[in-house]
Amino acid sequence: MHRLLRTFTALTALAAIGLTAGCSADSGSKGKERTAAEAGATTGAAEKAPQSAFWVDPESAAARQVKQWEQEGRTQDADALKRISEQPMAVWPAGDDPAPDIKAAVDGAAQSERTAVLVAYNIPHRDCGQHSAGGAHSSDFYRQWIDTFAGAIGDKSAVVILEPDAIAHIVDGCTPAEYHAERTSLLSEAIERLKRQPRVKVYLDAGNPGWIDQADKLTEPLTQAGIARADGFSLNVSNFQSDETIKAYGRSLSGTVGGKHFVMDTSRNGKGPLAGDREDAWCNPPGRGLGTPPTDKTGEALLDAVLWIKRPGDSDGPCRGGPAAGQWWPDYALGLARNAKAA
């Protein structure tokens, strides 16, 4: 992602709320998140979050850390970290073959009659060569990767967040102009392919209000990228903007793209963004806290769901003493949990 406060690391229920139309301040969603391979049926933590329509990974890094700390006698820390482990979080499939992680997530979700939240994050020239650089090495490989991604979902229920930061990096100029047409074409094709799966909702990422401050600057690239065929757009992935700021921005942007709905990431926005220079605020900012827990009961006509897309505790990158982007950082996770937004 870039530097604007971003970071990287039950369909029935969804339909009931109308989930049908709907990283980074400088950028947004750095860091590949922990995968879900070997995470089978939902048990334990998942059973403690019946209020959510979304799947809880019983083998997340947070869940494993809780078990370790309990064994070590760090019971207070373990209890605090349950504020993360017992909530549903998105799965970011890793590597050239996304199928194992996706199948583990959608199968686990199906067994608990919930919906998996997945992130497709492999666009060519990803993150402008910054902490989460990488992505598919060619357009053809990306098409193959998306086809595998979609195929692995099959007829299961899933929400897909499509390519955090990809559109915002077009707008802010971080992605070179010669790649813009390729990118919007690939995103459009990805939406078309994912929507061939019968129970998939697709939200094309649109950055965050602290990054692209004028929402209408996103309108043209979102349109070119096929937002009309998506269920909507996602906001604040891996970022720290407040709930009300995101909602206002989402309503404004929706008005420029045909009334599309949106989802928002509240995983780490409980204390809002770090004050000061935006160039320094997106990467592992201190003193942040967990935000509003995931839910599909939003009370907002255009807001389909509040999600934890960034997995709290996964590093934004090697800044402020953190590990590589997407790596689990238990001390940072514990800080987020202790600073969690009051219910």
CB 322 within 8 A of CB 312: no
pLDDT of residue 49: 41
- Give the pLDDT confidence score for residue 279 in this predicted structure: 66
Confidence of residue 126 (pLDDT cuts 50, 70, 90): confident
**Per-residue pLDDT tens for 201-244?**
999 999 999 999 999 999 999 999 999 999 999 999 999 999 99
What tens digit of pLDDT does each residue of 162-206 get?
999 999 999 999 999 999 999 999 999 999 999 999 999 999 999
Q: Determine whether 165 is an active site residue.
A: yes
Distant-in-sequence, close-in-space partners of 229: CB < 8 Å, separation ≥ 6: 188, 191, 192, 195
Q: What is the pLDDT of residue 51?
A: 61
pLDDT of the residue at 15: 37
Structure-block tokens of residue 193: 């392919």
* Cβ proximity of 23 and 66 under 8 Å: no
Q: Which of 26, 165, 304, 314 is catalytic?
A: 165
Segment 41-94, tens digit of pLDDT: 333 333 344 468 999 999 999 999 999 999 999 999 999 999 999 999 999 998
Q: What pLDDT sits at residue 293? A: 97
pTM exceeds 0.75 for this model: yes
> Which strands, in side-by-side order, build the sheet including 116-120?
116-120, 158-162, 200-205, 232-235, 261-265, 303-307
Q: Which of 77, 127, 296, 314 is catalytic?
A: 127
Which pairs with CB-CB distance under 8 Å and at least 24 residues apart come from 136-140? 139/182, 139/185, 139/186
In the numeric block, which tokens belong to residue 111? 């067994």
Q: Is 127 a catalytic residue?
A: yes
216 a catalytic residue: no
Under DSSP, the state recorded for 190 is H
Number of Cβ within 10 Å of residue 312's Cβ equals 29
